[in-house]
Structure formats: C-alpha cells, structure tokens
Structure 1
C-alpha cells in the first residue's frame, strides 16, 4: 500500500457532515458574541482549562469560532481509546466539552481509538498498560461507539436549547490505519518529528525515569495521535482538539506536525481530570471507575455517586457536569445555604447526569431504586429496603391474593394478584 498522502489543506475550505446542517441563522453580531461567549463561559465554569498555543488562542481561536458560529461552523474532535467496553465518568467532561461546541453550532467528532488502543497511551500512567488482543479492542471499540451514540442521542432528545446545533459524528481511527505498511507510514510521517522534542514531553520523561521505563510502542503513541489530528484536519477541516489535561503533550505534537506540513494553525483545549476524594484519577486503571454502561454501573449507582458528593465540590460539579446556566446554579446554591440538609444541589446534579447518560427512563429507575433503599416503600405495613427482594406468599402477598403497597407517605395501592 502506498504511503499516506501528506498534502496541504487550503485555508477556508468548507465541508459538510452527512445528514446534519451546520449553518446557523444568526446575525453577525450575535455570532461574534456567541462564539466568544462559548470560550469565556466554559472557562468561567471551569470546563476549559488550558488553551494551546496560548498566544494564538487569545485572538485567533475566538475569531475562528466566531466565524464558525455564523455561516462557517468549525470542527472539534476528542479521542476515546477503547481499553474497556464502556466509557466511565472520567470521560464525561471531554464528552460534555464536545456537546458545548455542538450546542454552539459547531460540528464535533468523537474519535474511537481502535488503532491507538493497541499501543496504549502512556500519559499520566506509572507503568505500561496491559496489551489487549486485537479482537478485544475491536469489541471494545464497537461498545464505545454504541455508548457514545446513546449519550449523544439523550443529549439531542432531552437537552435541546432551541438553537440549531452542529453535527455529532463517531469515527474509528482503525479505518485509516488498517492496511498501512509500517515502513511506508514511517517514511511519510516519521521524518517530520524530532526525537529531542518527543523526548522532552512531560509524560515521556516521567515514564523514562520510572522503574519499568517506556516501550517503543508507548513512545510512538503521540505520533499516531498527532497523525489522527492531521487526518481529521485534512478530511474534515478539524482545527480544534479537546482532551484531558494529561493530553497536552500529545495535542502539542499534533499542532507541530500540522503546522510544519501545512503552515496552518490548529488549537488544543484541555479539560480538568475527574479525581476521587483522595486525588486519584477516576478510571479503569485506578480501579475506581464509575461506568456509563448500565450493565457495569446501574443508573442508581451512577445517581448515588453524584448525590454523595461533598458540599465543597457540588457547585463546581454542577458547573462542570451539567448544562444549567450559571445564574440557575447560583440560585440552587443559595437555597442550599438555607436548607443544607435537603442536599438539593447534589440531587439536581445526580438527576442531570443520570438523565444525560441513561435517559429519562434511567433517571426514573434510579429514583425508584433510591426510594426503596431509603425505606420509602412498605408492603403490608412491612418496610422493604432491598430492591432485589423476592415476594413471599403469606408475607408480601396475603392468602387472599392481595398486597397493600405504600410508596412515600401518602401513596397507597391495593394490588390483586391473579396468579400465585
């Protein structure tokens, strides 16, 4: 197979994503304020943490997104490696970042790393990731694609804001790596990277100084991520990459690669990492993942994770994990100051996230489950706190085939069982 083509992407080229229109019917003044507001508001919320390159993002990026919010929507992407068969809470902030761009009228791409997952990203990891079999990676990639599309569908259906949105597309980088010949790829791409620059990355330095060192496969991960950015720039006009704060080195490699080949500027934006109360990064590797797949973490367990958040974190999490306007969050926190025992912010946070991830049905099931576990249900005047309880004849079902069900304080039901 021929080496990958490296060509210049002309400035200002338009593109479209099938099935979704990216044109917004906004006046020029509205477009300008909306785009600048996107960056400023998300920075104020704490969702957008770092911008790269710093110099360019003070002027060029707001102008680029200003133009994009009018008749020329931009494209933003974020990568998700399928190292497991489900996304987890640690992925939510980058996914929400994509959604905020989509809501502002830009086209967004969620890139499943069906190829890069075979190498393993060394960023923020003290040791090498355990290698996955090709068929396992492919299965995980299919599962991640379904998960991303499901959350995107909930977002589209339940969180509309009355404005035209950009498109949401899921791609897999295995599509452009499968069939590549190693020597052809290295001959076309490898000469554009300098070893000294790659070795200087903080993630690389940390691993080189660790007891286990760093494998060649891990070291080349940043080259493939840089090429992903370049490929999406060439084929989709993608100018912005979104990632966790541990991805800054990889994003920088992509910027340098694209700028060297095309002379064009692209941009990177990072979001904060989600950590536990001990400061550990939430995820599969740390063993503390809260999964978005309901078969691995139920809607109730996801709801409980957020409803248990401490008072000193809940305002920040409302800004990060929800689409609630900042004035509404301020109002919620003012009510909380008056009645902290009601845990109003925690319940609203848990409801918003559970609805986004699992839909309205998932939120309803989580609330029903919670009512049972907290003693809000009784059968025949006996409190039931285990949702998995088996109904016993003579205890839950009387001999006359009736059950008296009480839900909450005022809701009573008489159930007639047709078969015992």
Structure 2
C-alpha cells in the first residue's frame, strides 16, 4: 500500500490454487489437507479482507497523510484464475524444461524437511515452480517486474526470477522484507499456533473481531511483543520520531519501576 505512493502499480496475490499444494517453507511436516470447498472459501474471504483493507487505506489513511499528486494502484488477484486453466502437458512442455532438479534439491525447504526425517510429497516439492508460474503470468499479463515477499520466501522468489529469465530472456527482481517476529524470534503469522508465538490470534475480519476489540487487542499487547523492530515495521513514523517514542517509553518505564 505504501509503495503505491510512489506511483507503482501493485498486485496482492491470493494463493487460491497454491494453498492446496501447501508451501513447505519453514515446515518440518506437511500441512493438513482441507476440502477443496474450504480452500475456495478461505481464499474468497482473504480476497474480501484485502479489498476491505485497501478501501480503508485509501479512504482513511491516505487523506490523513496529505499526499499530493498521482498515486499508483493496488489490485487483488487470485492465482486460481489462471492456474486452473493450465494443463499438465502445457506445464510439462513450457515450464518444467526451465528448471533443474539439482537447484530444487538445494532449496532450504527441502533440506529442512529431509533433515527432520519427514517426507516431502511432489505437490510440496513443485510448490516453488507453481509460484514461479504466478510470477511469469503477472509479468507477461501486467508487466510486473518485481515480486515482494517475506524473507523466508527467497527460495520461491528466485524460482520465478529464473523462469522469467530462462523463458523470456528478461531480468526481473525480487525484494524480501523481514518477517514479523516476537523479540525471541518466533514468527507472527496466521498459521502459527497461538501458544507458539505467545499471543492470541488477531483477526482482520470484523465478523471474527470487531474493530473496537481489534483496537483494544493492539493497545493491550505486552511490551515484549511490541518490540523496537515491530514499531519500525508497522508504523508510518519516521526514524527520528520512532527513536524519540522509544526513548520516552523507556524513561516512563524506568520511573514506574523506581
């Protein structure tokens, strides 16, 4: 959303089809399967939530930031719209020849799974290839040259870069951002059990969590969760403002303990 201030046109991709395969990144065992109807329902709800967030951002945040000039755009797309039309023969002839088995075996996700003693099925093994097809489609259809993802997605992103270069002879780019983590390094994510990250689930659906309750949950998060890093990642304050806020907070806590 913030990147759109610099006149970039952005796409938020929902993995309606790739979620069925299950991203093996960072996992020592396979995710539990759900019904196809459940996967479709989940992706539809995520699309709805993302569009609502975009709407709220444009109508409430952007006016408050007093931004002038033309802005870019943010659009939500679902890879089910193009992957469901791909045939096995089409992928085998036009995509798979651009990948090397040795490269896929070197992926961190494969190494972690093998070292854990658990198996990896072909669906998970081919996940990076399917995500690469997404990047190729967005590149050809919308002239998309950069993919942004969490730092743990670097292996999947490089697959897309390689596919675009080997198939089209063009250079595309990947940008990774730090994961949201607790101070002790545990990932904050939708698929991480609450007990593992030490906090309750914070839903972005008003049906699951009313806006006021969302505000209260954020306000009441313990200092151990709202770390220096999260303040810098999740606010629009400048570096100097954040430094001052953190300094004031530390002084206030010191006075409280004294």
SS at the partner of 2:77? strand
* Distance (Å, rounded) in 1 between the aligned partners of 2:145 and 2:58: 24
* Distance (Å, rounded) in 2 between the aligned partners of 1:217 and 1:301: 36
Task: Give a deviation string over 1:57-81, Cα, whole Å, max 9, x none.
Answer: xxxxxxxxxxxxxxxxxxxxxxxxx
Matches within 5 A, 1:5-404: 99-160=1-62, 161=65, 162-163=67-68, 164-288=70-194, 289-299=201-211, 300-301=213-214, 303-305=216-218, 307-310=220-223, 313-340=226-253
* Distance (Å, rounded) in 1 between the aligned partners of 2:225 and 2:48: 34
Structure 1 residue 157: Cα displacement? 1.5
Structure 1 residue 327: Cα displacement? 2.8
Counterpart of 2:197 in structure 1 is: none
SS at the partner of 1:168? strand
Structure 1 residue 179: Cα displacement? 2.9
Unpaired runs of at least 5, structure 2 = 195-200
Aligned length: 245
Structure 1 residue 208: Cα displacement? 2.4
* Distance (Å, rounded) in 2 between the aligned partners of 1:188 and 1:276: 42
Higher helix residue share: 2
Structure 1 residue 158: Cα displacement? 1.8
Task: Give a deviation string over 1:296-351, Cα, whole Å, max 9, x none.
Answer: 344425642454242795432221101122232233234334433899xxxxxxxx
Contact 2:183-2:227 within 8 A present in 1 as well: no
Contact 1:114-1:172 within 8 A present in 2 as well: yes
SS at the partner of 1:339? helix
SS at the partner of 1:111? strand
Q: RMSD between aligned alpha carbons?
A: 2.2
TM-score (norm 1): 0.55
Structure 1 residue 207: Cα displacement? 1.1
* Distance (Å, rounded) in 2 between the aligned partners of 1:326 and 1:185: 47
Contact 2:107-2:155 within 8 A present in 1 as well: yes
* Distance (Å, rounded) in 2 between the aligned partners of 1:158 and 1:194: 47
TM-score (norm 2): 0.86
* Distance (Å, rounded) in 2 between the aligned partners of 1:185 and 1:257: 12
Contact 2:110-2:125 within 8 A present in 1 as well: yes
* Distance (Å, rounded) in 1 between the aligned partners of 2:209 and 2:40: 22
* Distance (Å, rounded) in 1 between the aligned partners of 2:191 and 2:118: 16
Contact 1:290-1:302 within 8 A present in 2 as well: no
Contact 1:123-1:203 within 8 A present in 2 as well: yes
Residue 206 and residue 193 in structure 1: after superposition, are their counterparts in 2 closer, same or farther (change >3 A)?
Answer: same
Query: Max radius of gyration: which structure?
Result: 1
